[in-house]
Amino acid sequence: MSYFYIFMTIALTVYGQIAIKWQVLKVGSLPEPLSEKILFLLHLLLNPWIVSALLAAFLASVFWMAAMTKLQLSHAYPFMGLTFVIVLLASGFFFQEPVTTYKVAGVALIFLGLVVASQG
């Protein structure tokens, strides 16, 4: 069950990142004037998808707390590196962001680190 908690933490974290990026792409860049920045961000905070992403972050924290009752932090935390792998792949798939050789190499190193760190 402890790995299920980690899986849910990762899934909810990735969902939040993808949902926020999707909605930010729809509304455009942050304006320069301070008053417009505040209105822009308030508008985003009222967006149902952004609210769901914030809720996902909260639920991810709840699942992480559950995982911490079962596993050592030094064992569980390296699994959070999987978020880098999944977000890279999802950003390429959903947003056509470039998945370069350097990014793949970096993610491969993170994945290798996860394998090594989870052994002990």
| Stated pTM of the model | 0.87
Of 111, 54, 79, 113, whose CA–CA distance to 2 is shortest?
Answer: 79
Closest CA to 112 of 91, 93, 84, 71: 84
Number of domains in the chain: 1
Q: Residue 103 is part of which domain span? A: 2-117
Helix and strand numbers, DSSP H then E, in the chain:
6, 0
pLDDT band for 113, please (50, 70, 90 cuts). confident
Cα separation, 110 vs 85, whole angstroms: 8
**How confident is the model over 15-68, as pLDDT tens digits?**
999 999 999 999 999 999 999 999 999 999 999 999 999 999 999 999 999 999
At 75, the pLDDT band (50, 70, 90 cuts) reads confident
